[in-house]
Amino acid sequence: MKIKSRITEIVILILIIVIASIIAINVKDALNKSELEKLSEASDIAKTLDESINVENAEQLPEEEKISLAKGSIAVIDIPSVGIRGQVVEGTSDAVLKNYIGKFIGSADPGQSGNFCVAAHNNIYTEIFRNLYKLEVNSEVRVITKEKEYIYLVKSVNKIQPTQIEVLNENPNLHEITLITCADMAKTRIVVKGDLVSEKEI
C-alpha cells in the first residue's frame, strides 16, 4: 500500500509540474505580446536589454526605427523579417546568454574580416533567437554599433550537430556573420551564415 501511495504522490507531483509549466509558458507569451505593443510605439526600442523583442508577427517591427546600444553592448542585432532584436555583449557564458546575444570570444567584431560569431537562447530566458530557424537565404541581418550599421545577407540556414564547431572557423578573406542557437531540446544547433554586403556611418 505504501508503494502505491508513493507512486500516486509522484504522478500527482508530475501532473502539477506539467500544468504549472504550461501556465507559465502561456503567461510568458502573453507578456511578450503586451511588451511588443508598448515597444512598437516607442521611438527607441533598444535602450536596455529588457526591450529586446522576439515575436511571431515580424511585420510589426519597423525597420527604420531608431536603435541604440545599452551600456556595455558591442552592437544590436536587428532582423525585422523574423522579429529578432537583441543587444550583443562579449562572451557566451550562462550568465551572458540568460539576457543577451553572446559574441564568441576571439571571433571577429562586426564589419571586420573574419567570422563575427554570436549565439543566443530560443526557448528560455529572453528567447532572443526563438525565430532564427525562420530566416531564409537572402534575408537581411542588421548589425548596429556605435559608429556604423552593417548589413549581412543570409547565405545559408542549416541544422548541425553540436560537435560541428568548424562553423566558427575564421576566413580572413571573408566578412561573415554566424548566428547559432539550440534546437531539438539542445541535441542539434541551428546555424545561420551571412556575408557583409554594405555598411554606413551612423
pTM of the full predicted structure?
0.68
The 10 Å Cβ neighbour count of residue 13 is 10
Q: For the segment 149-166, what is each residue's pLDDT rounded down to a tens digit?
A: 999 999 999 999 999 999
Which one-letter amino acid corresponds to residue 177? I
Q: What is the 3-state secondary structure (H, E, C) of 52-90?
A: CCECCCHHHCCCCCECCCCCCCCEEEEEHHHCEEEEEEE
What is the distance, to the nearest Å, from the Cα of residue 188 to the centroid of all Cα atoms in its chain?
16
12-36 mean pLDDT: 56
Whether pLDDT at 69 is above 90: no
Question: Is residue 200 within a helix (H) or strand (E), and if so which, with residue range?
Answer: strand 188-201
We find that the CATH architecture of domain 44-201 is Beta Barrel (2.40)
- The pLDDT assigned to 66 comes to 62
| pLDDT tier, 34 (very low <50, low <70, confident <90, very high otherwise) | very low
The domains of the chain are located at 1-41, 44-201
- The pLDDT assigned to 22 comes to 64
